[in-house]
């Protein structure tokens, strides 16, 4: 029998004197400093004293508290730790709830949530196109499935019908599926490898040759590399945001959206680096661009604004207009070239005028073409070699030839 009675417990609770009153067999009635009342089970395990809360009074009555304490003594007698057992039960319940939530959350839900989370920095056209591709080609095969059951077979069912006829679109969709499932794994909505991963997985199941052809088929009208110094000289005499953005685009080999959404916090002008986070990169991997001396000088001169962005604009997203550079090029008489074409201009110059290895030139454009094994052994991003390459490119572009 216990030492306490229901009336005694009520009397102690009413008095509200802080302390613990022993009922026997490890059960205590506790009054906290704030006047709260509850039940405590005290026990020893491996020579260490431990306390376990059994619930508040009067929600848990004296008889219920005694039964709960008896249950914990049984666990101790079997060699189990009552606190560890309770924690494990709570974790099992949370895991069951997580799995139930995962089954209720479809791939389409996750795709729309991903777009909502990351799309604020995208153009309206890109936002709509990003989701539209999934609606056309991915949602019909996996849209209603939960992330935890999506397999390689589901991904292939979405990609194979268009892999030969629309390879570039198919590869973009593959990348989107990979991003969405990676996000799902981070949220613990799925486990295991990503079935949309290319290297070491889908590259064994889908034609690499067709993917390469698709990249070659996409042709961007580009400026002849020999004509680049003339354009840079023209731009240097135009003191506008758009002209500076165009020079940065050419001298870094960056993609336009990287320039458009460039933030001052990404730049370290002391070390001459531009560090882009994964969410701003096409391949969703962080990337560092080395800045040549002319670029650092240009940015130091313009770094007088209090804006978050290098090139702020008046639109909803707060950055320069998507066609700002294109419009400037048209005004200067370069209507037959594209912004993306400057990357080809740089690559042609590197081929013709330098002896840098192919992997250095490609990585300068954020094209890491090393296979999975090679990349595992060579984790370097070749920053200093790329720095030397980009310094030579800037020196050529700013020459008076």
Q: What is the pLDDT of residues 391-401, one digit of tens each?
A: 999 999 998 75
CB-based contacts of 86: which residues, under 8 Å, 6+ apart? 52
Q: Are 319 and 311 in contact (CB under 8 A)?
A: yes
* Range 265-294 burial, b when 16+ CB lie within 10 A, else e: ebbeeeebbbebeeebeeeeeebbbbbbeb
Question: What is the per-residue pLDDT across 203-213, written as a single tens digit (0 to 9) for each?
Answer: 899 887 766 66
* Mean pLDDT value of segment 257-286: 86
* Mean pLDDT value of segment 255-263: 89
Domain 107-215 sits in CATH at 1.10.150.130
Query: Which of 38-52, 187-201, 207-221 is least confident?
Result: 207-221
Q: What is the band of 271 on the pLDDT scale with cuts at 50, 70, 90?
A: very high
Superfamily of chain region 6-101: Integrase, DNA-binding domain (3.30.160.390)
Query: Which of 69-78, 114-123, 232-241 is least confident?
Result: 114-123
Using CA atoms, how far apart are residues 112 and 16, in angstroms rounded to an integer? Answer: 54
* Mean pLDDT value of segment 315-329: 83
> What percentage of the chain exceeds 90 in pLDDT?
48
Q: What is the band of 222 on the pLDDT scale with cuts at 50, 70, 90?
A: confident
Give residue limits of the domains in the chain: 6-101, 107-215, 225-398
225-398: which CATH number, 1.10.443.10, 3.30.300.30, 1.10.3720.10, 3.40.250.10?
A: 1.10.443.10
Q: What is the band of 340 on the pLDDT scale with cuts at 50, 70, 90?
A: confident
**224 torsion bin: left (phi>0), alpha (psi -120 to 50), beta (else):** beta
pLDDT higher than threshold 90 for residue 385? yes
Whole-number pLDDT of residue 372: 45
Query: Which of 240-244, 253-257, 372-376, 382-386 is least confident?
Result: 372-376
Using CA atoms, how far apart are residues 338 and 285, in angstroms rounded to an integer? Answer: 25
The whole model's pTM is what?
Answer: 0.49
Mean pLDDT of the chain: 86
Using CA atoms, how far apart are residues 340 and 21, in angstroms rounded to an integer? Answer: 77
Using CA atoms, how far apart are residues 177 and 183, in angstroms rounded to an integer? Answer: 10
Q: What is the band of 375 on the pLDDT scale with cuts at 50, 70, 90?
A: very low
Q: Which residue has the higher pLDDT, 189 or 392?
A: 392
Q: What is the band of 220 on the pLDDT scale with cuts at 50, 70, 90?
A: low
Token pair in block for residue 18? 């802080």
Q: The dihedral of CA 231, 339, 367, 253: what is its sign? A: positive
């Amino acid at each position: 029998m216990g030492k306490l009675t229901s009336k005694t417990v009520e009397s102690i609770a009413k008095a509200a004197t802080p302390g613990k009153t022993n009922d026997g067999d490890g059960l205590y009635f506790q009054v906290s400093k704030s006047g709260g009342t509850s039940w405590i089970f005290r026990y020893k395990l491996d020579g260490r004293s431990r306390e376990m809360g059994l619930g508040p009074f009067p929600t848990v009555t004296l008889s219920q508290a005694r039964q709960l304490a008896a249950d914990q003594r049984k666990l101790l007698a079997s060699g189990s730790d009552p606190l560890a057992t309770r924690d494990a039960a709570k974790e099992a319940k949370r895991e069951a709830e997580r799995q139930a939530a995962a089954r209720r959350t479809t791939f389409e839900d996750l795709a729309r949530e991903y777009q909502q989370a990351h799309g604020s920095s995208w153009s309206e056209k890109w936002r709509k196109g990003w989701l539209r591709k999934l609606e056309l080609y991915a949602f019909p095969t996996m849209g209603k499935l939960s992330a935890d059951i999506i397999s390689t077979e589901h991904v292939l069912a979405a990609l194979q019908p268009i892999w030969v006829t629309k390879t570039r679109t198919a590869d973009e969709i593959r990348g989107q599926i990979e991003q969405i499932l990676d996000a799902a794994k981070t949220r613990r909505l799925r486990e295991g490898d990503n079935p949309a991963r290319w290297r070491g997985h889908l590259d064994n199941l889908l034609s690499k040759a067709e993917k390469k052809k698709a990249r070659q088929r996409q042709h961007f009208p580009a400026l002849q590399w020999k004509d680049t110094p003339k354009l840079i000289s023209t731009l240097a005499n135009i003191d506008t945001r758009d002209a500076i953005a165009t020079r940065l685009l050419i001298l870094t080999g960056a993609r336009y959206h990287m320039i458009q959404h460039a933030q001052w916090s990404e730049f370290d002008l002391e070390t001459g680096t531009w560090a882009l986070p994964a969410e701003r990169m096409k391949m969703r991997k962080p990337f560092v661009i080395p800045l040549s001396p002319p670029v650092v000088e240009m940015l130091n001169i313009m770094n007088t604004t209090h804006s978050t962005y290098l090139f702020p604009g008046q639109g909803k997203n707060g950055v320069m207009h998507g066609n700002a550079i294109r419009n400037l090029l048209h005004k200067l008489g370069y209507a037959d070239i594209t912004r993306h074409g400057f990357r080809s201009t740089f690559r042609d110059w590197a081929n013709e005028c330098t002896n840098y290895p192919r992997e250095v030139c490609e990585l300068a454009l954020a094209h890491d073409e090393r296979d999975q094994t090679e990349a595992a052994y060579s984790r370097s991003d070749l920053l200093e070699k790329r720095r030397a390459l980009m310094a030579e490119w800037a020196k050529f572009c700013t020459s008076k030839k």
